[in-house]
Structure 1
Amino acid sequence: MAQQFEDKFNRKFYYLRLSVTDVCNFKCTYCLPDGYQPPGHKRPAFLTLPEIKRVVTAFADCGTSKVRITGGEPSLRKDFPQIIETVANTRGITKVATTTNGYRMTKQVDTWRQAGLTNINVSVDSLDPRMFHQITGENKFTEVMSGIDRAFEIGYEQVKVNVVLMKDLNAKELPAFLNWIKDRPIQLRFIELMQTGEMDELFNKHHVSGTDIRNQLIANGWILKARSQNDGPAQVFVHADYKGEIGLIMPYEKNFCESCNRLRVSAMGKLHLCLFGDHGVELRDLLQEDAQESALIERIQAQLQTKSVSHFLHDGNSGMTPHLASIGG
Structure 2
Amino acid sequence: MAQQFEDRFHRKFYYLRLSVTDVCNFKCTYCLPDGYKPSGQKSSSFLSLPEIKRVVRAFADCGTSKVRITGGEPTLRKDFNEIVHSVAATQGIEKVATTTNGYRMEKQVAGWKDAGLTHINVSVDSLDPRMFYQITGENKFTQVMAGIDRAFEVGYEQVKVNVVLMKDLNSHELPAFLNWIKDRPIQLRFIELMQTGEMDDLFQRHHVSGVAIRNQLIANGWLLKVRNKNDGPAQVFVHPDYQGEIGLIMPYEKDFCESCNRLRVSAKGKLHLCLFGEHGVELRDLLQQDEQESALIERIQQQLQTKSVSHFLHDGNSGMTPHLASIGG
User: TM-score band, normalised by the shorter chain?
Assistant: over 0.9
Matching of residues 50-89 of structure 1 within 5 Å: 50-89=50-89
Following TM superposition, by how much is the alpha carbon of 1:43 offset from its aligned partner in structure 2, in angstroms? Answer: 7.2
Following TM superposition, by how much is the alpha carbon of 1:225 offset from its aligned partner in structure 2, in angstroms? Answer: 0.3
Task: Indicate the residue corresponding to 2:191 in structure 1.
Answer: 191
SS in 1 for 2:120: strand
- The 1-side partners of 2:43 and 2:62 are apart by 33
SS in 1 for 2:10: coil
Following TM superposition, by how much is the alpha carbon of 1:290 offset from its aligned partner in structure 2, in angstroms? Answer: 6.2
Task: Indicate the residue corresponding to 2:9 in structure 1.
Answer: 9
- The 1-side partners of 2:323 and 2:10 are apart by 29
Q: What code does the residue aligned with 1:241 have?
A: D
Q: What code does the residue aligned with 1:149 have?
A: D
Following TM superposition, by how much is the alpha carbon of 1:220 offset from its aligned partner in structure 2, in angstroms? Answer: 0.6
Following TM superposition, by how much is the alpha carbon of 1:101 offset from its aligned partner in structure 2, in angstroms? Answer: 0.1
SS in 1 for 2:34: coil
Q: What code does the residue aligned with 1:123 have?
A: S
- The 2-side partners of 1:50 and 1:284 are apart by 11
Task: Indicate the residue corresponding to 2:171 in structure 1.
Answer: 171
Task: Indicate the residue corresponding to 1:145 in structure 2.
Answer: 145
SS in 2 for 1:292: helix
Task: Indicate the residue corresponding to 2:296 in structure 1.
Answer: 296
SS in 2 for 1:160: strand
- The 1-side partners of 2:210 and 2:126 are apart by 17
Q: What code does the residue aligned with 2:289 have?
A: E
Task: Indicate the residue corresponding to 2:98 in structure 1.
Answer: 98
- The 1-side partners of 2:214 and 2:324 are apart by 24
Cα distance per residue 1:62-109 (max 9 Å; x no partner): 000000000000000000000000000000000000000000000000
Matching of residues 1-329 of structure 1 within 5 Å: 1-40=1-40, 42=42, 44-289=44-289, 291-329=291-329
Given that residues 273 and 304 in structure 2 are in contact (C-alpha distance below 8 angstroms), is that contact kept between their aligned partners in structure 1?
yes
Structure 1 alignment gaps of length 5 or more: none
- The 2-side partners of 1:44 and 1:179 are apart by 45
Q: What code does the residue aligned with 2:32 have?
A: L
Following TM superposition, by how much is the alpha carbon of 1:40 offset from its aligned partner in structure 2, in angstroms? Answer: 2.4
Following TM superposition, by how much is the alpha carbon of 1:44 offset from its aligned partner in structure 2, in angstroms? Answer: 4.2
SS in 2 for 1:263: strand
Following TM superposition, by how much is the alpha carbon of 1:42 offset from its aligned partner in structure 2, in angstroms? Answer: 2.9
TM-score, normalising length: structure 2: 0.99
Q: What code does the residue aligned with 1:21 have?
A: T
Cα distance per residue 1:133-172 (max 9 Å; x no partner): 0000000000000000000001100000000010000011
Structure 2 alignment gaps of length 5 or more: none
Q: What code does the residue aligned with 2:7 have?
A: D
- The 1-side partners of 2:41 and 2:75 are apart by 23
- Count, aligned residues: 329
SS in 2 for 1:246: strand
- The 2-side partners of 1:172 and 1:44 are apart by 42
Q: What code does the residue aligned with 2:225 have?
A: K
Following TM superposition, by how much is the alpha carbon of 1:291 offset from its aligned partner in structure 2, in angstroms? Answer: 4.6
Q: What code does the residue aligned with 1:193 have?
A: L
SS in 1 for 2:84: helix
- The 1-side partners of 2:113 and 2:157 are apart by 12
- The 2-side partners of 1:145 and 1:326 are apart by 26
Q: Which runs of 4+ in 1 moved over 2 A?
A: 40-44
- The 2-side partners of 1:33 and 1:80 are apart by 25
Following TM superposition, by how much is the alpha carbon of 1:193 offset from its aligned partner in structure 2, in angstroms? Answer: 0.1
Identical columns (%): 85
Following TM superposition, by how much is the alpha carbon of 1:292 offset from its aligned partner in structure 2, in angstroms? Answer: 1.6
SS in 1 for 2:205: helix
- The 1-side partners of 2:290 and 2:90 are apart by 20
Given that residues 102 and 147 in structure 2 are in contact (C-alpha distance below 8 angstroms), is that contact kept between their aligned partners in structure 1?
yes
- The 2-side partners of 1:20 and 1:87 are apart by 12
- The 2-side partners of 1:123 and 1:291 are apart by 38
SS in 1 for 2:4: coil
- The 2-side partners of 1:207 and 1:176 are apart by 20
Following TM superposition, by how much is the alpha carbon of 1:289 offset from its aligned partner in structure 2, in angstroms? Answer: 1.7
Root mean square deviation of aligned Cα: 0.8
- Structure 1 residues 148 and 201: CA distance shift in structure 2, 3 A: same
Given that residues 54 and 290 in structure 2 are in contact (C-alpha distance below 8 angstroms), is that contact kept between their aligned partners in structure 1?
no
TM-score, normalising length: structure 1: 0.99
